[in-house]
Amino acid sequence: MRLLTQSAVALAMLVATSTDLLAQRRITGKVTEEGSTTPLAAASIQVVGTTTGTYTDANGAFGLQIPSGAVSLRVRRIGYQMRTVLVQADQGTVAVELKKDVLQLETQVVTAQSGSIEKRQAATTVAAVSGEDLSRVPAMTVDQALQGKVTGARINMNTGAPGGGGQIQIRGTTSILGNGEPLFVIDGVIMSNASIAGGSNTLTRAGGAATNIASVQDNRTNRLADINPNEIEDIQILKDAAAAALYGSRATNGVVIITTKRGRSGQARWNLTQRLGQSSLLRGIGTRCYADSSAAVTAAASAASQALAIEAFNAAKAANGGSIPCNDHVGQLFGRSAMAWETAINVSGGSEATRYFASASRKVDGGIAVNTGALRDNARINLDQNISSRLQARIDLGYTRSIANRGLSNNGNDPNTSPLYVLGKTPSFLDLRTRDASGVFPVNRFGGGGAAANTSNPFQTFEHVTNDENVDRFLGSATLGWQALATDVNQVRVEYQIGVDRFTQDNFLYSPNFLQFEPQDGLPGTVVNTNAYSRQFNQVLRANWNFTPTSGFASFRTSAGITEEQQGLNVSRVRAQGLIPGVVNVNQGQQLTFQNQELQTDQGLFLQTTALALDDRLTLGAGVRGDRSSNNGDRSKYYVFPSAQASYRFGKILPGVDEFKLLANWGQTGNRPLYGQRFITFGNTPFINGVNGIGTNPTLGNPEVRPERKTDYVLGFTMAGLGQRLSLDYAYVNTRIDDVLFNRPIPPTAGISQQIFNGGRLRNTAQEISMTVVPVQRQGMTWVSRTAFQQIRNVTEQLPIPPFNPANVGFGAAYGRPRITQGVSTTAIWGNRPIFRDDGSVVTRDTIIGDAVPDHEMFFTNTFTVGRFTLNTQVDWRKGGDLTNLTQNIWDQFQRARDFDAPSPCRGQTAANLACVRNAGGVRTLLDTSATATLGRYRFARWNNGNDARVYVQDGSFVKLREVSLTYSVPQSVARRLLGDRVGDVRLNVVGRNLAVFMDYWGMDPEVTNFGNGPIRSAVDLAPFPPSRQFFFSVDVGF
């Protein structure tokens, strides 16, 4: 009680403190873009040497009380080079022109839990992406918007389904069994990026057994999908351990810091964006058309009995007037041109004491198949309130509703409901689309392996199956900041912040009784309800102290704090089968339930200091964080993660070089164990006679488990030259991960199979280069070209256990999958291949046949501005990166691949060509070399029941035209004549995403994967949801 009273008194005194009354005067001014006279809104004006400042309004104008006498104004705006202008004692107005900062040298980058530094001074390689770059071309999700914009990151969309589902992996594989996702922080809230299965495996049977009601093959959405790119001011990605170290034992995979837009004082400024567009199939899979009856019947009989094949073929041929029909089922099913639109409005304004930013938006993406699509509503309000001159409060609140109807996709088993899975087995002569007079779809009996049983007709499935995901999410934070001290020499700011991220995800999957495949299990009708509750909470108390001694020799920025973070997730799921027709309530059927609950809490302490010296040319920094977690075996022990960094900027050391910076840093971060790994428990067995059974858990927990520890060092340089027309960044990264979590195998005869433990070492290296050139920069015309290059290598340097196959990345040696082996790339793909020995014999061996990590990736962004037109293009090139093409394997097996009848490369070959020889029980056996040998048969025969996995482990190189946008900025005079005097800025845009892909890869998209997110990023293309291309026309109006 006494403490409270004292605090109240202290608070009252603070509020009572008033600003002093120095002699002041008022000036007005205008800020414009150099060369174009375009007014610049939201530029910040600050009186040098004080904390007095303001922002420009929509017309670039500002007004400011300044001390009498001559003062210097520092004028800066994101995307422009900072300028300092002198205002004479008698000057009342001032005009400032800012030059575009095309090289982004002055972007503020994050250095610690709070505090930032100009990119040109930074000693770490932070990637920054502005909100403008993110939302120029609308993306389904933030991860999609980030593709190709972050050097050092592999960002892939796992699926083409509406609603998203992607993964960001920074600088290679850092964990095998632990968490592989970066930490996402939005406005200080540590947010969940969980991927929660919806239970579609119940229908696809991807996990095999009918008892599985969820699996990693459920085409999951990662919940970053709930964030609206339009609300984002910028995203910074802390890649170096030295930069991420202050996030401690959750930062091994990097930290993605998202900052949303904030209000600026002044008249309310509105921005309205309306987009209207269309999605369509980017690339299908095609089909084989049968040349003659014999080919058609043979193909059909590979997925059914001969009798059924003949019967179905004759019927189809007769119905088509005697010629063999050819249906591109995938093109038909995913051939919809779906409307997409987005409406977004935001407003910013306020008084000097109260500032607000509010926004609301709705985005609708129609799916390219019937009954698929996604909708996202976002609303946000960010408030800043000056309680007194020294006490500020901030309250941010964001709301999201995400709805996605994602159909079915990915792996399957009987009864074959995943569309590309069953269509591979269905002959193209069948018309699956045309309903009979009573509206019933044709019955598909192919794919059941010769049983006359029905499989599925995907047209019927998509028409009637419901697979909805519905998310409601609140993200909010409250911050109280207190400027304890503000002198020219010392500035101390203390901040307390709490953040909450709360969402529910409900999945509703319903497959009505009358669907063709439903009676197959004897329980017609399926419904699965999934309810996930996620709650994350974090609080931090921190103090920042800026110390600038009057000697001017150096300045210091120090921050220290304590944090606590808590994450809870509770997923429950109930399935009912054997429904009463028309009833979707689970009470009515045979039920199976599932629940998983997790809760984890971390506490940390941090301290970091950065010094700028030698005329701000030298940056030195060091920091340390101590962390403890409920997931560690010893929960009271603090694990310590130190970091150090340095950079030095040289002046014009060579002709043409304006500035040259060398940087080096070293740091450690952690990856704490997963929930549950420290417990020794009984495992669950099925119920028997109404009683639940327990028994030995095959995986033994470990009460000594501790965080994985990453140590990396980064060496790099940044060069700017040719009068701000060229910049070049280079970084070399060497990362080592120790104490990697592995399962130690225990001979199963002991009754248990494995135990989790820390050991071994991974080693990753990366090279990142980015170059920006301004080939043209003159009145009314600029061309800015940015090229980025990244190369990542990850190796399992020490493995204290025998080689093993990690779970959920592949399907065995027959198809190729990662196999963790000492001294070998962590992402190497191992699989069977024949080894031809000199003595003429042949053996099949499980060995390295590829690597999931690309040789390198390059991103090309070009911006051309001519007068009021701006054209922006982004092209991504990936060289290498292998994946398993199981889709093709199925389409070959059942003789449906579009190129099945193309000539086999083995025509006319002899046994000397080893590509035409397979291992038949230890005997070299020649494949079909006749003049009629076909490509599809060649592939499947060479694969040889999995004895040569190389056939379907394929190169995923591509060139993608990811983004194109053409913007016309309407002259203000025209806009005002048309829309009224308040209108500021009006832009018209034509934009497109995923417009074209150039590749030799046979499938639809080498980036998709059947297994979704996981620490080892290795792709399996298995009946995915096809990717789509999007076009939009949009109007942005500011008033």
Partner 1 sequence: MTTNITPVRSDRMTRRLPALLAAALLAAGCSADRLNIPNYNEASSDQTVDRPLLQNLASGILAEQRGGLVGLISNVGIFGRESYLYTSSEPRNTTLFLGTFPLDNSGFTNGQWDPRFRNARNAIELIRAANGAAFLSDGEKNAVRGFANTLRALDFFYVLATRDTIGIPTAIDIQTNQPQPFVSRDSAYRFISGILDSAATQLSAAGSAAFPFTLPPGFAGFNTPATYRQFNRALAARVHIYRGSTDCGAACFTAALTALGESFLSAAAGADLRRGVYHTFSTAAGDALNSLSIPVTPDQLAHPSIRPDAQLQANGTRDQRFVTKIRSIATRNAPGGIAVGIPTDVGFALYPEQTTPLPIIRNEELILLRAEANIGLGQFATALTDLNYIRTNAGLLPPLPSLDTRDAAIDALLYERRYSLLWEGHRWFDVRRWGRLLTLPLDIPTHFRARVMPVPQSECLARTGLAANLRAPGCP
The CB-of-570 to partner 1 minimum distance in angstroms stands at 8
The CB-of-556 to partner 1 minimum distance in angstroms stands at 18
Bond preceding residue 415 cis, omega within 30 of 0: yes
The CB-of-687 to partner 1 minimum distance in angstroms stands at 4
Nearest of 120, 896, 248, 152 to residue 625 by alpha carbon: 248
- CB atoms inside a 10 Å sphere around CB 380: 23
The answer to whether the CB of 999 falls within 8 A of the CB of 988 is: no
- CB atoms inside a 10 Å sphere around CB 955: 18
The CB-of-148 to partner 1 minimum distance in angstroms stands at 35
The CB-of-327 to partner 1 minimum distance in angstroms stands at 20
Quick check: helix, strand or coil at residue 3? helix
Backbone angles phi, psi at 807, to 5 degrees: -75, 155
In the 8-state DSSP scheme, what is residue 937?
H
User: 715's torsion region: left (phi>0), alpha (psi -120 to 50) or beta?
Assistant: beta
* Cα gap 720→771, rounded to integer Å: 10
Nearer to partner 1, 209 or 437 (CB): 209
Strands 828-836 and 817-818: antiparallel
Backbone angles phi, psi at 121, to 5 degrees: -100, -10
Strands 232-238 and 127-130: antiparallel
* Cα gap 386→950, rounded to integer Å: 65
* Cα gap 433→209, rounded to integer Å: 30
The answer to whether the CB of 910 falls within 8 A of the CB of 927 is: no
Nearer to partner 1, 541 or 618 (CB): 541
The CB-of-837 to partner 1 minimum distance in angstroms stands at 17
Nearer to partner 1, 21 or 437 (CB): 21
* Cα gap 135→150, rounded to integer Å: 15
The CB-of-713 to partner 1 minimum distance in angstroms stands at 32
* Cα gap 974→126, rounded to integer Å: 41
The CB-of-982 to partner 1 minimum distance in angstroms stands at 22
Nearest of 108, 109, 112, 110 to residue 559 by alpha carbon: 112
The CB-of-589 to partner 1 minimum distance in angstroms stands at 10
Q: DSSP for 38-99? A: -B-TT-EEEETTSS-EEE--TTSEEEEEEESS-EEEEEE-TTB--EEEEE-TT--EEEEEE-
Nearer to partner 1, 447 or 1038 (CB): 447
Nearer to partner 1, 264 or 1017 (CB): 264
The CB-of-183 to partner 1 minimum distance in angstroms stands at 19
* Cα gap 620→665, rounded to integer Å: 10
Nearer to partner 1, 486 or 584 (CB): 486
Distant-in-sequence, close-in-space partners of 440: CB < 8 Å, separation ≥ 6: none
Residue type, 337: S
Nearer to partner 1, 405 or 538 (CB): 538
Nearer to partner 1, 453 or 620 (CB): 453
The CB-of-677 to partner 1 minimum distance in angstroms stands at 10
With vertex at residue 209, the alpha carbon angle to CA 203 and CA 214, rounded to the nearest 5 degrees, is 55
The answer to whether the CB of 355 falls within 8 A of the CB of 262 is: yes
Alpha helices in 302-417 (DSSP H): 306-319, 329-333
Nearer to partner 1, 895 or 904 (CB): 895
List the structure tokens of 634. 């010893």
The CB-of-644 to partner 1 minimum distance in angstroms stands at 26
The CB-of-596 to partner 1 minimum distance in angstroms stands at 6
Residue in the block written with tokens 């796992």: 158
* Cα gap 191→567, rounded to integer Å: 9
* Cα gap 962→995, rounded to integer Å: 6
The CB-of-862 to partner 1 minimum distance in angstroms stands at 36
Nearest of 510, 526, 521 to residue 579 by alpha carbon: 526
Quick check: helix, strand or coil at residue 1039? coil
Backbone angles phi, psi at 163, to 5 degrees: 105, -15
* Cα gap 452→516, rounded to integer Å: 12
